[in-house]
Amino acid sequence: MIGPFGNTFDALLALQEALEGHLSSDWLRGSTASRGPFPPINVFEQGDNFVAIIELPGMNRNDLEIQAKENTIRIAGRKTASYAEDISIHRRERVAGEFDRTLTLPIQINTERIRAEYRDGVLAIFVPRAESDKPRTIKIS
């Protein structure tokens, strides 16, 4: 578990090390399908549920499509980085184009309660586990 961070100086380092520790983990191996590896996705556990965080700066919300079904989430869209015609370019590093990725999670998704938030160029998808997927305690009679 990351945090609580507070305002300590090494809080960010702790987060970076936690993220680093799971880089290219095989947790989702073979279960992320995509036409390309864009956009990069981080997946977190929050209690029973999952949160997917995706960096997509400068997106138009209308160009973003998120679909959830059973245990998969599809994130598709078009990223733009266009400028006026008569400019003289010094440096061009930003990428633009279409993307389409499907993420398969090891849970059944409650598709009614899934929600997405886009703030400061970061897309966060909150994925609740379906009620039917939650463990039940069985009373011995």
Partner 1 sequence: MATAQELQIKQKQEVEKKEEATIPARTFVPTTDIYEKGDTLYVVMEMPGVDKNNVDVRVEDGILKVEGRLDFSKYEGLQPVYTEYNVGHYRRSFDITSRIDSNKIEAEMEDGVLSLALPMAESAKPRTIRVK
* Closest to 53 in 3D by CA, of 87, 85, 93, 15: 15
**Angle CA 67–20–104, to nearest 5:** 25
Using CB under 8 A as the binding rule, whether residue 80 contacts partner 1 is answered as no
Cβ 126 to partner 1 shortest distance, Å: 11
Half-sphere exposure of 60 (CA within 13 A, CB side): 10
Interface size with partner 1, residues (CB under 8 A): 64
Cβ 141 to partner 1 shortest distance, Å: 36
Using CB under 8 A as the binding rule, whether residue 116 contacts partner 1 is answered as no
CB 129 within 8 A of CB 113: no
CB 42 within 8 A of CB 16: no
Distance CA 78, CA 29 (A): 26
Using CB under 8 A, which of 62, 86, 135, 138 touches partner 1?
A: 86
Site for partner 1 in 34-73 (CB under 8 A): 35-46, 50-51, 55-59
Using CB under 8 A, which of 33, 48, 69, 97 touches partner 1?
A: 97
Cβ 133 to partner 1 shortest distance, Å: 16
Peptide bond into 39 cis (omega under 30): yes
Question: Which residues would be at the binding site for partner 1 (CB under 8 A)?
Answer: 1-5, 9-13, 15-16, 18-25, 27-28, 35-46, 50-51, 55-59, 79, 81, 83-84, 86-99, 118, 120-122, 124
